Structure 1
Amino acid sequence: MAAKIHIWSDYVCPFCLIADELIERAVADLPEVEVVHHPHELRPRPAPTLRPEDPYLPEIWNRAVYPMARHHRIPMQLPSVSPQPYTELAFRGAQYAQEHGRGHAYHQRLMAAFFREDLDIGDRAVLARLAEEAGLDPAGYTQALDDEWYAERHREALAESARQKITVVPTLVIGERRIEGVATEGVIRRALEDLAVS
């Protein structure tokens, strides 16, 4: 039975991209490990999303995001999309991607699109193109964005996030180990080793 790394994240969280990259490196030689993505919207509607021209985002990127990204050699940039997109629609699409066995590829494609290509992941046309690049049928994906069944699945996933008391993204759960924030490759490996012998 494959070990699982559960990660709660949001597509507009830069630390989540860093966490994703470190997880990928930590499990590169461990094909039996499955990474399971869970949604946690940092700013759900109707709360306003952040704007890169306001002081907050440049300050936190210069103080924390860019230094951490450089330390781990992870290319990324502060997106110029303003205001930042809501992620509910992208997460509905994630439910469709998961159903079709492309959840991980879809997650990675959206994170790269926002933080490396400066694409608006709140735009339906952009999302459909990214879904196709992740191996999904763009027509089926586009229909899923307006399908109440996928919307309900997303709401259920958010309810599970609340039950798990997720307040920080990224949050990783590996067996009984819960890690809030970015975990290094060594920490991830040790948690998986502990899980293997438990």
Structure 2
Amino acid sequence: MRIEIWSDVVCPWCYVGKRRLETALAGFEHRDDVEIVYRSFELDPSAPQHGHELTTPVLARKYGRSEDEMRQMQLQLTEVAAEEGLAFRLLENVHTNTIDAHRLLHLALDEGGPALQRDLKEALLAAYFVRAEDVGDHDVLHAAATEVGLDDVRVKEVLTGDAYAAAVQADIAQARAYGATGVPFYVVDEKFGISGAQPAEVFAQVLERAWAEARPTLEMAPGGEACGPDGCAV
């Protein structure tokens, strides 16, 4: 089974959704047969490469709210995240660009497969939301990438060039083709779509259904007389 996840590393609900999916997978009998691949989605491609402004005033302007209202919303989301074991620092987050983070996630997938990509995704989310670091900053990105095992030289090559930029745009185009307008967005076996950070129970239901439909079992009628491997006892 393959789960593709469209998300951004500055999307708080993507981190919450990640934890909820992990909870569902922990109780899924066939979890060892599940492959997770992260796809790119930029919430704000126009964001500055190096964040200087906090997200609170940026979001307040974007959604037509006061900064006090936005702070209260961020504090409420912080409480939701805490229920999933995440210690968010949303009031300290900076508004920053994520294109380079996404390019590194593609590098991780190429170099080490879904497992390495998953490790880098977790490292980047933790850097931004738990430590309030700027994930548009190349020093932060380099540290996260090399700490999970990516080659120092390859990381520098990607960060100083434009490798995987086309792959990022292809991911975004695919999300739009699926009808996704926001993240997180999940696609299971190219058949089942899940929008948003749903409760773990919802993820669990979809996992069970997808597994059952991909591997149907026969419904047997009551047995009748038959011959076995040793012949027929008539």
> CA offset at residue 47 of structure 1?
8.3
The change in CA–CA distance for 1:53 and 1:189 in structure 2 (over 3 A counts) is closer
The change in CA–CA distance for 1:158 and 1:52 in structure 2 (over 3 A counts) is closer
Residue ranges of structure 1 left out of the alignment (5+ in a row): none
Q: 5 Å matches for 1:1-198?
A: 3-28=1-26, 30-45=31-46, 51-54=54-57, 55=67, 57-63=70-76, 65-78=77-90, 80-82=92-94, 84-101=95-112, 102-175=116-189, 176-198=191-213
Verify the 8 A CA contact 1:79 1:115 in the aligned structure 2: no
> CA offset at residue 68 of structure 1?
1.8
> CA offset at residue 59 of structure 1?
3.3
Residue ranges of structure 2 left out of the alignment (5+ in a row): 58-66, 214-234
**Counterpart-to-counterpart distance in 1, 2:48 and 2:138:** 20
**Counterpart-to-counterpart distance in 1, 2:207 and 2:32:** 13
The change in CA–CA distance for 1:153 and 1:165 in structure 2 (over 3 A counts) is same
Aligned residue-pair number:
194
Deviations 1:169-191 (A, max 9, x none): 11112243222111222211111
The change in CA–CA distance for 1:146 and 1:153 in structure 2 (over 3 A counts) is farther
The change in CA–CA distance for 1:178 and 1:158 in structure 2 (over 3 A counts) is same
Amino acid at match of 1:23: L
Query: Which of the pair has more CA radius of gyration?
Result: 2
Verify the 8 A CA contact 2:47 2:96 in the aligned structure 1: no
**Counterpart-to-counterpart distance in 1, 2:143 and 2:48:** 27
* Seq. identity, %: 27
The change in CA–CA distance for 1:46 and 1:119 in structure 2 (over 3 A counts) is closer
CA-based RMSD = 2.2
